[in-house]
């Protein structure tokens, strides 16, 4: 004879057990979400810091290799009229800088001079334009068949400003808060300070001496030059 089948009773979760399970699941989701959000914020902050440090590195490189090696370089016959006068290829504005820098020359290279322009574009990019061919500060905004080599130093920049150091007649150091007047000063500043302000409010400054700023240089005594004497 067949034994009678034992009836299986179905057991359902009680309301208390269901509430406990949902509570545990909620805690797991909350902990997982909090950990994921913390990880995301940490990663985002680290990425932002890495990007900002990379911008600092680019600006440091420009200041160390270009601004620190800025040299006085004159261009004769500015207007092509066989004029014997010469103009210094340097233009220090309050928010833009144009100068000539000395670089290491190699065999087969285009020369040891580099013409540089540092400026802030309308979209907030701080850029350094470089050219191996002579460029003139009075023509840089005109159309040119020879393009600049453009490098973006920093993005989302609110403003950039420059200060130029010089010595007064009594030998004291003073800072030019406005533009460097190359019509009156046929020599380079002793030092150049660049201040960059980002859109998030971060502000950093870089200060470098220039190469052509000694008491005696190819222009002779800088104090005599400042007083309008003939350049040697």
Instruction: List, for residues 143-170, the tens digit of each pLDDT value.
Output: 556 778 999 999 999 999 999 998 877 7
Domain count within the chain: 1
Answer whether residue 11 is part of any domain.
no
Answer whether residue 20 is part of any domain.
no
- Cα-only R_g, the chain: 32
CA distance 127 to 208: 18
Residue 60, classed as helix, strand or coil, is: helix
Q: What residues contact 63, with CB distance under 8 A and at least 6 apart?
A: 194, 206, 208
Task: Write out the residue range of the structural domain in which residue 119 sits.
Answer: 61-226
Nearest to 67 by CA among 43, 92, 88: 92
Nearest to 65 by CA among 137, 133, 114: 114
Q: Supply the mean pLDDT for the chain.
A: 80
Answer whether residue 207 is part of any domain.
yes
Mean local confidence (pLDDT), 113-121 = 94
**pLDDT score of 140 more than 80:** no
Mean local confidence (pLDDT), 14-28 = 79
Note if the pTM is more than 0.75: no
CA distance 153 to 19: 57
Which pLDDT does position 185 carry in this prediction? Answer: 80
**pLDDT score of 30 more than 80:** yes
The dihedral through the CA atoms of 174, 180, 184, 185 has a sign that is positive
At residue 120 the predicted structure's pLDDT band, cuts being 50, 70 and 90, is very high
Answer whether residue 131 is part of any domain.
yes
Answer whether residue 159 is part of any domain.
yes
Strands 191-198 and 113-120, by their bridges, are unpaired
Q: Which segment of 1-5, 93-97, 129-133, 144-148 scores lowest on mean pLDDT?
A: 1-5
Cα first-last separation, the chain: 130
8 A C-beta contact, residue 115 and residue 131: yes
Q: What is the pLDDT of residues 54-106, one digit of tens each?
A: 999 999 999 999 999 998 888 876 665 555 567 888 999 999 999 999 987 77
Cross-strand bridge partners of residue 149: 130
CA distance 58 to 69: 16
Mean local confidence (pLDDT), 125-135 = 91
Mean local confidence (pLDDT), 26-49 = 78
8 A C-beta contact, residue 70 and residue 97: no
CA distance 97 to 152: 15
Answer whether residue 165 is part of any domain.
yes
Q: Which segment of 113-127, 131-145, 192-206 scores lowest on mean pLDDT?
A: 131-145
Mean local confidence (pLDDT), 172-190 = 82
Answer whether residue 39 is part of any domain.
no
CA distance 182 to 209: 18
| 27-36, 52-61, 137-146: which is most confident | 52-61
Answer whether residue 13 is part of any domain.
no
């Amino acid at each position: 004879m067949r034994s009678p089948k034992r009836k299986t009773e179905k057991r359902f979760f009680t309301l208390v057990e269901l509430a406990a399970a949902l509570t545990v699941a909620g805690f797991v989701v909350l902990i997982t979400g909090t950990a994921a959000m913390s990880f995301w914020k940490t990663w985002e902050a680290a990425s932002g810091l890495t990007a900002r440090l990379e911008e600092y590195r680019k600006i440091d490189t420009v200041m160390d290799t270009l601004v620190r090696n800025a040299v006085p370089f004159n261009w004769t016959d500015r207007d092509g009229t066989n004029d014997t006068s010469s103009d210094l290829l340097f233009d220090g504005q309050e928010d833009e800088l144009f100068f000539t820098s000395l670089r290491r020359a190699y065999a087969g290279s285009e020369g040891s001079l580099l013409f540089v322009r540092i400026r802030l574009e309308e979209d907030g990019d701080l850029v350094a334009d470089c050219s191996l061919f002579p460029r003139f500060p009075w023509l840089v905004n005109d159309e040119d068949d020879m393009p600049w080599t453009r490098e973006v130093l920093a993005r989302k920049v609110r403003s950039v400003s420059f200060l130029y150091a010089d010595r007064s007649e009594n030998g004291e150091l003073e800072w030019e808060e406005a533009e460097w007047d190359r019509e009156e000063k046929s020599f380079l500043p002793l030092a150049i300070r660049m201040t960059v302000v980002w859109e998030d409010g971060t502000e950093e400054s870089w200060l470098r001496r220039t190469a052509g700023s000694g008491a005696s240089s190819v222009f002779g005594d800088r104090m005599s030059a400042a007083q309008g004497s003939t350049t040697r």
